[in-house]
C-alpha cells in the first residue's frame, strides 16, 4: 500500500474547491510550503493572504473576513494555532460563533525532528474545550480532501487537524462522510478499537493480528471528536464490553477522555493508547511512535488487557 501525503491532498483540495466557491479565502502564517496552501495561492492569488508569523492576528483577520461574508481557512502549525492564538480562537471565533475554518498542520508528533515544543499533543484537548467549535481529525489523504468542502459548507467554526506524515490511503472517495458520525470499519464481539487520525490504519492492522489470535475486534473511526458520536461509542461498549482508544495525542483531554465521558455512569474496561501525560522527544517519526507505545503491537496488547479486565 503506497503512502500518500495528507497535507498535499489538503492543499490541492483547497485550491480545487476555491475554484468552485469564490467565497473561499485562505490565510497562512508564512508556512505555505509546509501547509501546502501554496496550491491555493498559485490559483487564487487575490484570495490568499500571507499574514507572516503573527498567528493571533491572522485569526482576527480571518474573523473579519468571515464577518464580511467570506469563508476563511486559517492555516498554521497545530501547536501555534491552538496555543499562541488560543485567546483569539476562544473569544473571536468560538464565543462569537464566527464562520472560520481553523486548520492545524503537522498534528501530533508528525513534526518529529522539531521536537517537543512543536509536537501538537494538546491541540485536541484545547479545541474540544472550546464551546461552539467542531473538532475534526483526518486519517488519510482521501478523507482530508473530502473534508475540505464538507467543513467549508458547515455553518460555524471548525478545527481540522492535518498530519505532516505520508500515510496509507484507506478511504474511498465515494465513501460517505458526515460531521459528527463515526465510521464502523468492521464488526467484532470481544473488544472495540476506537481510533482517530493516523491511528485508524494501525487499529485495522491490530484487528488483523487479534483475529489471528482468535480475538474478534470491532474497529471504529472517530473523525469528529466534537460532537462525538456517543451513540456509536455506547453501543460498542454495551456489545463488546471492552474498549481501547488510540490517538496521536496526550491521553489527557483527547479521544480517550471523550470516550470515557460518553460512557459516563456505565463504564467498561478501557485502555488508552497515546502520549501518557508527559512531554515528547526529538527523533524519527516512527521511532517516536514506538517510544510512546503507539504501534500496532501496542494496540493488540492493550486489547488483551481490556479483555482480561472485562473477564476478571
Query: Could you give the residue numbers annotated as active site?
Result: 55
Report the Cα–Cα distance between both ends of the chain, in Å, rounded: 39
Strand partners, 167: 4
Strand partners, 103: 75, 160
Handedness of CA 88, 90, 178, 119 (dihedral sign): positive
CA angle in degrees (0–180, nearest 5) for 253-269-128: 15
CA angle in degrees (0–180, nearest 5) for 186-192-197: 75
- Closest among 37, 129, 40 to 82, alpha carbons compared: 129
C-alpha grid cell, residue 161: 487537524
Between β-strands 101-105 and 71-77, what pairing exists: parallel, antiparallel or unpaired?
parallel
Q: What is the dihedral of CA 209, 213, 214, 220, to 10 degrees?
A: -20
Distance CA(77)–CA(62), nearest Å, equals 16
CB 66 within 8 A of CB 92: no
C-alpha grid cell, residue 165: 506524515
CB 152 within 8 A of CB 71: yes
C-alpha grid cell, residue 144: 482530508
Strand partners, 218: 192
Amino acid at each position: 500500500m503506497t503512502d500518500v501525503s495528507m497535507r498535499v491532498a489538503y492543499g490541492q483540495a483547497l485550491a480545487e474547491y476555491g475554484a468552485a466557491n469564490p467565497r473561499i479565502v485562505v490565510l497562512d502564517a508564512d508556512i505555505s510550503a509546509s501547509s501546502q496552501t501554496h496550491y491555493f495561492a498559485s490559483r487564487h492569488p487575490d484570495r490568499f493572504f500571507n499574514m507572516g508569523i503573527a498567528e493571533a492576528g491572522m485569526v482576527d483577520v480571518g474573523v473579519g473576513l468571515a464577518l464580511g461574508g467570506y469563508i476563511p481557512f486559517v492555516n498554521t502549525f497545530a501547536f501555534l494555532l491552538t496555543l499562541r492564538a488560543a485567546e483569539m480562537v476562544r473569544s473571536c471565533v468560538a464565543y462569537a460563533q464566527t464562520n472560520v475554518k481553523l486548520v492545524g498542520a503537522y498534528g501530533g508528533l508528525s513534526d518529529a525532528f522539531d521536537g517537543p515544543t512543536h509536537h501538537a499533543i494538546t491541540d485536541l484537548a484545547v479545541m474540544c474545550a472550546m464551546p461552539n467549535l467542531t473538532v475534526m481529525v483526518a486519517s488519510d489523504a482521501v478523507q482530508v480532501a473530502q473534508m475540505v468542502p464538507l467543513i467549508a459548507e458547515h455553518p460555524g467554526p471548525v478545527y481540522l487537524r492535518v498530519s505532516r506524515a505520508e500515510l496509507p490511503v484507506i478511504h474511498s472517495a465515494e465513501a460517505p462522510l458526515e460531521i459528527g458520525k463515526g465510521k464502523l470499519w468492521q464488526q467484532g464481539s470481544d473488544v472495540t478499537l476506537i481510533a482517530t487520525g493516523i491511528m485508524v490504519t494501525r487499529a485495522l492492522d491490530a484487528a488483523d493480528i487479534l483475529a489471528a489470535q482468535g480475538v474478534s475486534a470491532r474497529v471504529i473511526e472517530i473523525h469528529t471528536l466534537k460532537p462525538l458520536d456517543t451513540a456509536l461509542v455506547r453501543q460498542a461498549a454495551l456489545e463488546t464490553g471492552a474498549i481501547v482508544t488510540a490517538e496521536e495525542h496526550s491521553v489527557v483531554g483527547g479521544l480517550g477522555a471523550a470516550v470515557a465521558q460518553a460512557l459516563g455512569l456505565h463504564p467498561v474496561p478501557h485502555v488508552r493508547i497515546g502520549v501518557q501525560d508527559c512531554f515528547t522527544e526529538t527523533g524519527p517519526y516512527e521511532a517516536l511512535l514506538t517510544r510512546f507505545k503507539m504501534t500496532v503491537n501496542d494496540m493488540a496488547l492493550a486489547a488483551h488487557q481490556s479483555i482480561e479486565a472485562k473477564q476478571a
